[in-house]
Amino acid sequence: MSFKAARLVAEALLDASLLVAGQVELGAYTGVSAVTAFTSAGGPPALFIVPLAVAGLLVGLVGIVVERGLLRFVYDRDESFQLLLTFALVLMMEDVIRMTWGTAPRSTGGLYLVYGQARLLDATVPVYNLIVIAASLLIALAIGWLLTRTAFGRIIRASADNREMAEALGVDMGRLYVRVFTLGTVLGTLGGALVIPSTAAMSEMGIELIVEAFAVVVIGGLGSMRGAFVGALVVGVLRALAIAVYPELEMLVIYLIVIVVLLLRPRGLFGSAA
């Protein structure tokens, strides 16, 4: 891989990671507000997951505004310009979050424990965590089906491989871009909303997510659904093991795996050759 190609891939990875961080953080705070409003209005605690998911889905529609209002003007410019724009968007999201929710952490308390706990392999696991895992698997399968079994998915893959040819065959690239970007935004905000009950929404919580998202894509390979799935499993399992055995190694282990992958297989485990 040439230096220029490696630079472009690195910028694309960082670009995507920055957007993921901002989206997840926005979804987390919106989810907390939705659940708080739901329970304050007398809603059944066991149904808190409904407003949580709805809030995550709806706030993801901000992707339409961002893509049509800003990003569509820079697609043909240098990748460095796109990186600067997305970084500026993340900083703006941080300021909007501070002005709206303040800087103090926000959480739903122990509401997620309303579903009880389960025993798995001599460990006690909140049932809500199992629900989130199941939802993640269903979403991954749905996205995989969308990309491989539908006409829309085939258009996405064709456009990613050869934009000029797809456009020459009649694909409306403007419409395709906004739909794909909005889908990504919705997934990011929904993910942030679903994980927040078992933790807390904090200002700049997206910084850690940038590292994790970058590591997942580097390990799995850019443009591979299977790679993203395997990369996420590798990062998640290694972090859990490090926390259980020696917490100080939590992030170091991930960095070491990323370095090894970059040295031995720069395109990732499942990434296609350039």
Full pLDDT tens readout for the chain, 274 residues: 444 444 444 444 445 556 666 777 888 888 888 888 988 888 888 888 888 888 888 888 887 888 788 777 877 777 667 777 777 787 788 888 888 888 788 888 778 888 888 887 777 888 888 888 898 889 888 988 888 889 988 888 888 778 888 888 888 888 888 888 888 888 888 888 888 887 778 776 766 777 777 788 888 887 677 888 888 888 888 888 888 888 888 878 888 888 888 888 888 887 665 5
Closest CA to 59 of 27, 91, 19, 86: 27
Q: Alpha helix (H) ranges present in the chain? A: 3-40, 49-59, 62-69, 79-101, 127-149, 151-161, 163-168, 173-195, 206-220, 225-245, 250-264
Find, among 205, 156, 158, the residue nearest to 176 by Cα.
Answer: 156
- How many other CB atoms are there within 10 angstroms of residue 42's CB atom? 6
pTM: 0.79
DSSP state letter for 125: E
| Residue 16 pLDDT | 52
pLDDT of residue 13: 45
Residue count of the chain, please give it. Answer: 274
| Helix-helix angle 225-245:206-220, to 10 degrees | 120
pLDDT of residue 180: 84
* The predicted structure's pLDDT at residue 21: 67
Q: At what angle do helices 173-195 and 3-40 cross, to 10 degrees?
A: 50
pLDDT at 206: 67
* Angle 111-115-117 from CA coordinates, rounded to 5°: 105
Q: Residue 197 CA to chain centroid, in angstroms?
A: 17
Residue 222: DSSP 8-state: T
